[in-house]
């Protein structure tokens, strides 16, 4: 006997932009949690780095939830440590489980991509998944990682080896949270914006390049529309791209990521995700020119845009190009099936390739390492 049936599970993916989300008058969060007969429980986790730089935030959050049933607010160490330390996300899971959180309750995670990933993974697994609201506090989480439907932690030194596809209940981008980011983390998210513009939207790419210098100077009026558009492009790709749970072998948004994930690992996470993505995009751009896919002047524009944003594209881990090349197989293995890379074929256009000319890729890595990109 054979029984086959198609299972359709509807999901609602919600993205909101706001300022000062925990101000008493701000209704964004409240509206997202309305509609339950019994007041749902809430538990909040906050990125410890954010907590330290905005010490008033915990008080504000407590005040905001005054009338609601709030279990606890817990600070979770920020940065990649949140994903590299299993006891951390296990503690988060234990707290969620111990706080009487059920599948109608809300876990609210406030922080950067790493804390959102670690708390998100715990939330995706306790009771086989409880509702998660992400409040993104970094440029990278607002323009890319927080907007997605994945959560992952690192295992055996490999990025996101343990994780879940789980559509969050909602994602909130609060621009007012960004002002305390240090220079590196301020810049980080804009490499994902360059990436998605290069893949999908030539007009956005032009605009972003024009704004790059002002963004590097932390001009919020220039930066906000870029974060907004980047988030929107990532969001739309996930909901309209046809493969939100990545069942195929391709990840169209992961230009530059095969090397970026490897570079993070090789640098022992001294390189953050956004910085590594900037280098990864540069490598793929140089490679794409070497196989005749991308024009030299387009490649120069990409590299100049990244440099104008303040990214440093050479790094000592690039010296061992063979070690970097191992990222190709790790990337393939993570997705399954044949190797599938997205490369730029113009500004706003991509091509899919299944083979890589090793010699040319090693050469591309070395050229990025040498900082010889003006000679593309
Ligand atoms: N789930 C996904 O789909 C996905 C996609 C892309 C990237 N990611 C992951 O996101 C992570 C990187 O996230 P990130 O770039 O947001 O960095 P991060 O989460 O590592 O945070 C960087 C630092 O900034 C601090 N911080 C956070 N908000 C702050 C604020 N407003 N003011 C001051 N300090 C603040 C943190 O404590 C941390 O020390 C990586 O682990 C990456 O793999 C996940
Ligand atoms: Zn990324």
The string of pLDDT tens digits covering residues 245-259 is: 988 877 889 999 999
Examine the pLDDT at 232 and tell me if it is beyond 80: yes
Percentage with pLDDT > 70 across the chain: 98
Cβ 265 under 6 angstroms from ligand 1: no
How many C-beta atoms lie closer than 10 Å to residue 73's C-beta?
Answer: 19
Cβ 185 under 6 angstroms from ligand 1: yes
Bridge partners (DSSP) listed for residue 131: 106
| Residue 167 · residue 225 · CB < 8 Å | no
| Residue 112 · residue 47 · CB < 8 Å | yes
pLDDT tens for residues 118-141?
Answer: 999 999 999 999 999 999 999 999
Cβ 58 under 6 angstroms from ligand 1: no
pLDDT tens for residues 194-206?
Answer: 999 999 999 999 9
- Taking the C-alpha atoms of residue 241 and residue 209, their distance in angstroms, rounded to an integer, is 26
pLDDT tens for residues 277-316?
Answer: 999 999 999 999 999 999 999 999 999 999 999 999 999 9
Alpha carbon nearest to ligand 1 atom 12, residue: 113
Alpha carbon nearest to ligand 1 atom 23, residue: 79
pLDDT tens for residues 10-68?
Answer: 999 999 999 999 999 999 999 999 988 888 999 999 999 999 999 999 999 999 998 66
Query: What pLDDT is recorded for position 264?
Result: 95
Examine the pLDDT at 273 and tell me if it is beyond 60: yes
Its pTM stands at: 0.95
Alpha carbon nearest to ligand 1 atom 41, residue: 114
- Residue 159 CA, closest ligand 1 atom number: 43
Distance 174 CA to ligand 1 centre (A): 15
Query: What pLDDT is recorded for position 67?
Result: 67
- Taking the C-alpha atoms of residue 312 and residue 278, their distance in angstroms, rounded to an integer, is 8
Alpha carbon nearest to ligand 1 atom 38, residue: 79
Cβ 49 under 6 angstroms from ligand 1: yes
Query: What pLDDT is recorded for position 279?
Result: 98
How many C-beta atoms lie closer than 10 Å to residue 177's C-beta?
Answer: 27
Cβ 163 under 6 angstroms from ligand 1: no
Identify the three-state secondary structure at position 106. strand
**Residue with tokens 């299993």, as numbered in its chain:** 86
Query: What pLDDT is recorded for position 376?
Result: 60
Query: What pLDDT is recorded for position 302?
Result: 97
pLDDT tens for residues 77-86?
Answer: 999 999 999 9
| Residue 33 · residue 69 · CB < 8 Å | no
Examine the pLDDT at 375 and tell me if it is beyond 70: no
Alpha carbon nearest to ligand 1 atom 42, residue: 273
Query: What pLDDT is recorded for position 374?
Result: 62
* ∠ CA 249-250-251, rounded to 5°: 135
Q: Which residue has the higher pLDDT, 37 or 324?
A: 324
Closest CA to 116 of 92, 87, 95, 100: 92
Distance 88 CA to ligand 1 centre (A): 16
Bridge partners (DSSP) listed for residue 47: 76
Distance 30 CA to ligand 1 centre (A): 25
Nearest-10 crossing angle of helices 86-98, 113-125: 50
Identify the three-state secondary structure at position 99. coil
Distance 105 CA to ligand 2 centre (A): 29
Test site for ligand 1: of 114, 150, 327, most ligand atoms within 8 A of the Cβ: 114
- Residue 101 — pLDDT band, cuts 50, 70, 90? very high
- Taking the C-alpha atoms of residue 289 and residue 343, their distance in angstroms, rounded to an integer, is 10
Cβ 317 under 6 angstroms from ligand 1: no
| Residue 344 · residue 293 · CB < 8 Å | yes
Cβ 230 under 6 angstroms from ligand 1: no
Residue 177's contacts (CB-CB under 8 Å, 6 or more residues apart) are: 21, 50, 54, 110, 135, 136, 137
| Residue 198 · residue 281 · CB < 8 Å | yes
């Amino acid at each position: 006997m054979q029984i086959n049936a198609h299972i359709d599970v509807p999901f609602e993916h919600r993205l909101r932009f706001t300022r000062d989300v925990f101000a008493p008058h701000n209704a964004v969060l409240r509206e997202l949690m309305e509609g339950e007969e019994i007041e749902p429980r809430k538990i909040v986790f906050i990125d410890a780095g954010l907590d330290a730089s905005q010490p008033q935030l915990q008080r504000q959050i407590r005040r905001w939830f005054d009338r609601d049933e709030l279990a606890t607010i817990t600070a979770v160490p920020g940065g990649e440590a949140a994903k590299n330390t299993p006891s951390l996300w296990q503690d988060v899971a234990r707290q969620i489980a111990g706080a009487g959180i059920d599948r109608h309750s809300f876990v609210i995670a406030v922080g950067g991509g790493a804390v959102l990933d670690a708390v998100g993974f715990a939330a995706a697994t306790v009771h086989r998944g409880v509702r998660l609201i992400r409040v993104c506090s970094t440029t990278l989480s607002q323009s890319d990682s927080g907007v997605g439907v994945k959560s992952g932690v690192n295992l055996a030194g490999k990025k996101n080896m343990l994780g879940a596809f789980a559509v969050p209940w909602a994602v909130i981008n609060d621009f007012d949270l960004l002002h305390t980011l240090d220079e590196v983390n301020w810049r980080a998210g804009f490499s994902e914006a360059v990436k998605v513009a290069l893949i999908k939207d030539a007009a956005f790419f032009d605009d972003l390049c024009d704004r790059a210098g002002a963004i590097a100077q932390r001009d919020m009026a220039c930066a906000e529309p870029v974060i907004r558009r980047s988030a929107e492009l990532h969001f739309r790709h996930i909901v309209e791209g046809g493969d939100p749970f990545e069942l195929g072998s391709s990840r169209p948004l992961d230009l530059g990521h095969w090397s970026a994930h490897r570079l993070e690992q090789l640098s022992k996470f001294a390189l953050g995700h956004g910085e590594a993505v900037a280098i990864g995009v540069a490598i793929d751009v140089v490679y794409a020119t070497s196989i005749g896919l991308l024009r030299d002047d387009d490649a120069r524009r990409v590299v100049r845009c990244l440099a104008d944003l303040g990214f440093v594209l050479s790094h000592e881990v690039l010296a061992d190009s063979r070690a970097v090349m191992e990222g190709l197989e790790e990337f393939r293995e993570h997705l399954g099936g044949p190797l599938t890379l997205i490369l730029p074929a113009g500004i706003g256009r991509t091509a899919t390739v299944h083979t890589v000319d090793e010699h040319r890729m090693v050469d591309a890595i070395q050229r990025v390492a040498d900082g010889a990109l003006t000679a593309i």
